[in-house]
Amino acid sequence: MPREFLPGTTPDPRLPAGPSAAAVRAAGTGSGPGSAPAAPAGTDTHCPYCALQCAMTLTPAPGSAEPAVTGRDFPTNRGGLCRKGWTSAALLGHPERLTAPLLRGPDGVHRPIGWTHALDLAAMKLAATRRLHGADAVGVFGGGALTNEKAYQLGKFARLALGTSRIDYNGRFCMSSAAAAGNRAFGVDRGLPFPVEDLDRARTILLLGSNVAETMPPFVQHLQGARAAGGLIVVDPRRTATADFTADGAGLHLQPVPATDLVLLLGLCHIVIHEGLADQEFLDSRTTGRHEVVRSVAQWWPERVQSVTGVPVHLLRETARLLSDGARSGGAYILTGRGVEQHADGTDTATAAINLALLLGLPGSANSGYGTLTGQGNGQGGREHGQKADQLPGYRKITDPAARAHVAKVWGVEPDDIPGPGLPAVELLGELGRSVRSFLIFGANVAVSAPNASKVVAGLRRLDFLVVCDFFMSETAREADLVLPVRQWAEEEGTMTNLEGRVLRRRAAVAAPARTRPELWIMAELARRLQAPSTFSDDPEAVFTELRAASAGGLADYSGIDYALLDSGAGAYWPYPAGSTGTPRLFTDAFAHPGGRAVLVPVSPAAAEPVRDALFAGSTLALVTGRLLEHYQSGAQTRRVPELAGAVPRALLLIHPLAAAARGIVDGGPVTIANARGTVRCTALHSTTVRTDTVFLPFHFPGEESANLLTGDAADPVSGMPEFKASSVAVTAGWAEADLAGAHLAGAGVPS
C-alpha cells in the first residue's frame, strides 16, 4: 500500500493535509535561482502520542506561534504521521494552556499564585502528612508519557524525598499484563523484542486485541507483507479498520465473544500440538514446561472452543496452519494488544499467546517472533526506571537485596533508606482519602482514565491535599488543591523508549510559556525543601547520566547510551551495556532466565462466573471500550485540537441494528448505558461492525459520557491490570434519569 494512502495519513476534508514525502523533497533547501529565502532550520524530534514514536520535524512558521510539522523518514513511520501527529503542534500555543500555579480557594475557585508560594505550600503539606500519618500516607502517581528522565527521578523523589512506597503509574492500565507474562516466560519484558521493520518480511501475522489502523496508523505499512501473502489474521470482537485489512483474501478476521480470548488461544495451542505443527527441535533445545502445557490444553479441542468463543472450527484450524506455514516459509509473528490483556485474566491470556508462539518456535527466530504493542508514548521506558510500585531503575525488582544495594550506592544512601514495594494502581487509588492522605499526580488524568471512575473521583475529593502537574486544566486537575503548570513535549529535552525498546531523543523546538516549569525542576525544588538525601537535578542530561549508572547491570541496561550517541542518529536498543552496540533483537542466543531457556506456563480459564452485574441480569450486553483514530487516552489533549474535536466531538455508542431494534434505539438517538457502577448518556450509532451481544464505547470523553464510569476495578492477581474489557451493561433508549446518574459529579457514595 503506498505510504501516502495509509489509514490516518491521507488527506481528510476535516483536517489539514500533512505534506507528503515527495512534497518535502521538492521543496528543497530554498537555494537556487528565483527561489524563496531559506526556510528556518527545523528541529528533529518525535510525536508526543503513541509508542510508535513517529519521527517528525518542527519548523518555525513565520507569523505563527505554532511550528509546522513535517513527517520525517524513520524506520517506524517512514515519513507518515496520523491525524494526531499532524495536528500535535496545535496544543503548544493553545489558549487554555496553564501558565501559572493555581491554588483552590475556600470557594472552590482556582486562582493564580507565585511559584515560591506554591512550592512552599506543597512541601509544608506533604511534610505535615508524613509527620502526622507516616510516609506511606503520601502517594505519587506517574504516567507513561513522562520522559525516561522524569520517570526515573519521580521514582527516586517518591522513595527518598517523600520516603513513601506508595507510587505507581497509569502504565499499570496499559502494559502490566503483557509485561508480567513476558517476564515469566522470557525472563524480561520488552514490548517488541525485535525492530518493527522485521514485520515487513513476515508471511503470517496474528494480531490479537489491537486496532492499529486507528491507534497507530503508520504501523499498518509493516503488515503489508503478510497481507500480500494472505496471512494477516486479526482477532477482535469488532469489525475494526484493522480487521478490514483482512478482506479480499488478505487474511482472516476472528470475531470471538468478548472476554473469551484465553479459550481461543488454548484452542489454537491444542491444534498446533495435535496436528503436528509444533517445532519439536525448538521446544527440546530452547524451552521448558512443554509437557505441562500439552496436558493443560488437552480439554480445549476445536469444537469445544467454538462453543465458547463462537469462532468456527475451520477458522481455528486455518489460523494454526497459517502460523505454522509462515514460520517455515518466510516468517510468522504473534502480536498482542490491550484488547486481550485488559482483563482479570490478562496475564494468563498473554501467557497463552506466548505459549502458542513458543510451540511454533517463533521467539528468538531470525525471521519470526512474539511481541506486544506498547500503547503510551513512553509506556516502555516509563515502566523500566522506578515509577512502578515494585521496581527500581534498570527493571530491577525492589525486593532484590542486590538491586537495592546497587541503586542505593548510585543514590548515595543506605539500602534500608529505600522503601519496599508499594501498591499497584487500582489498590493505590482505592486508598485515596483513607491510608493515603496527600497525593501527587504527574502526567495522568485518572478522573477519566481509571476504572470505576466515580469511585476514583470520590477518593480524590477525600484527600487532605492533592497536587496535579499538567499543562491543561484536566478533569483531574479540577479536583486538585494545587495545580502546577508544566512544559509540553516540544518545549523540553529528554529521551523516550519506543515500542521496540529503541531509546530516542526528544528535543526542545519552541520556547515554553514563561511561568511554566519542567517537572524535573519541580521535583528538585520540592526535594530541596523537604531536605531529601541524595541529589535532584533539573538538567535532563545530568539525570540521564545518573539513570545510566542506576540501570547498569540491570535487565534494562542503558549504561552505554548517552545524548551524544542519540544525537548522532544511531539506533540504541536496550540492553545497551557500556562498551556494547545495543540489542536490536533479543533471544537470538538465549532467553533471560537462568539456563537460557524460555518457560511455557500452563494456564486455564476460571470457572464460568455468574453475571457480574446481577441488577441487569437477563438484558445485558457486553461493553467493549477503546480508542478512536481522532483521539488519544483521556482526550485531555485531543479534545482541545479543533480539527480532531470537530471530527468526533462526542461519544457515540456503537450498537448492532438488531440489538438496537430490540430496545427501540434509533440511529442517532439518545441512549443510556448503565450498570451498578454508574450511568453514561450519549448518542447511539447503528453499526454492523459490532456483535449483536456487544456494544462499543470510546473512553476519551468526560462527564456523563465517560466510559470508565461503567468499567470495573477487579484486577489481575499477577499484574494488577484492571478489567477494562469485561463490563456488563443495560442499554436503553433515551436519556434515562437513573438513581446513579450524576453520582460521579456529586461525589456521592457509588457502589464499588
- From 360, 47, 316, select the one nearest 203 (Cα to Cα): 360
Amino acid 444: pLDDT: 96
Strand-by-strand arrangement of the 232-235 sheet: 251-254, 232-235, 204-208, 332-336, 369-372
Is the predicted pLDDT of residue 33 greater than 80, yes or no? no
Mean pLDDT throughout 145-155? 97
pTM to 2 decimal places: 0.92
- From 242, 555, 216, 229, select the one nearest 383 (Cα to Cα): 555
Amino acid 255: pLDDT: 96
Cβ neighbours of 313 (radius 10 Å): 16
Amino acid 467: pLDDT: 98
Mean pLDDT throughout 375-380? 90
Amino acid 726: pLDDT: 83
Distances (CA, A) of 270 to 229, 329, 469, 551: 25, 22, 49, 40
Q: What confidence category does residue 62 fall into, taking pLDDT thresholds of 50, 70 and 90?
A: confident
- From 38, 143, 149, select the one nearest 495 (Cα to Cα): 149
In percent, the amount of the chain with pLDDT more than 70 equals 91
Mean pLDDT for all residues in the chain: 90
Is the predicted pLDDT of residue 752 greater than 60, yes or no? no
The single-letter DSSP state of residue 286 is H
Amino acid making up residue 165: S
* Minimum mean pLDDT range among 108-112, 164-168, 412-416, 613-617: 613-617
Query: Using alpha carbons only, what angle is made at residue 176 by residues 172 and 177, rounded to the nearest 5 degrees?
Result: 135
Helix orientation angle between 346-359 and 176-186, rounded to the nearest 10 degrees: 40
Amino acid 40: pLDDT: 64
Amino acid 14: pLDDT: 28
Mean pLDDT throughout 623-633? 94
Is the predicted pLDDT of residue 366 greater than 60, yes or no? yes
Please enumerate in sequence order all residues whose Cβ is within 8 A of that of 681, keeping only pairs 6 or more positions apart, or say none: 670, 671, 672, 673, 704, 705, 735, 736, 741
Residue 656 phi, psi dihedral angles, 5° rounding: -65, 140
Is the predicted pLDDT of residue 31 greater than 70, yes or no? no
Amino acid 119: pLDDT: 98
Cβ neighbours of 107 (radius 10 Å): 6
pLDDT digits (tens, 9 = 90+) for 220-230: 999 999 999 99
**Interatomic CA distance for residues 550 and 558, integer angstroms:** 9
Instruction: Please count the CA atoms within 13 angstroms of the CA of 257 that sit on its side-chain side.
Output: 13
Is the predicted pLDDT of residue 283 greater than 60, yes or no? yes
Q: What confidence category does residue 35 fall into, taking pLDDT thresholds of 50, 70 and 90?
A: very low
- How many residues are given for the chain? 752
Q: What confidence category does residue 26 fall into, taking pLDDT thresholds of 50, 70 and 90?
A: very low
Q: What confidence category does residue 144 fall into, taking pLDDT thresholds of 50, 70 and 90?
A: very high
Amino acid 552: pLDDT: 98
pLDDT digits (tens, 9 = 90+) for 291-345: 999 999 999 999 999 999 999 999 999 999 999 999 999 899 999 999 899 899 9
The single-letter DSSP state of residue 434 is T
Is the predicted pLDDT of residue 37 greater than 80, yes or no? no
Amino acid 607: pLDDT: 62
Amino acid 175: pLDDT: 85
Query: β-strands 102-104, 482-485: how paired?
Result: antiparallel
- From 335, 364, 407, select the one nearest 152 (Cα to Cα): 407
Strand locations in 63-208 (E) = 68-71, 102-104, 110-112, 138-142, 167-169, 204-208
**Interatomic CA distance for residues 449 and 431, integer angstroms:** 17
**Interatomic CA distance for residues 587 and 216, integer angstroms:** 26
Look at 27 and 440; give whichever has higher pLDDT: 440
pLDDT digits (tens, 9 = 90+) for 584-626: 999 999 999 999 999 999 999 986 443 333 333 567 999 999 9
Mean pLDDT throughout 672-697? 96
pLDDT digits (tens, 9 = 90+) for 189-221: 999 999 999 999 999 999 999 999 999 999 999
Is the predicted pLDDT of residue 250 greater than 70, yes or no? yes
pLDDT digits (tens, 9 = 90+) for 468-485: 999 999 999 999 999 999
Instruction: Report the run of H or E that residue 21 belongs to, with start and end.
Output: helix 21-27
Mean pLDDT throughout 433-438? 98
Look at 736 and 261; give whichever has higher pLDDT: 261
**Domains of the chain, first to last:** 1-92 (2.20.25.90), 102-174+379-503+519-556 (3.40.50.740), 192-372 (3.40.228.10), 614-746 (2.40.40.20)
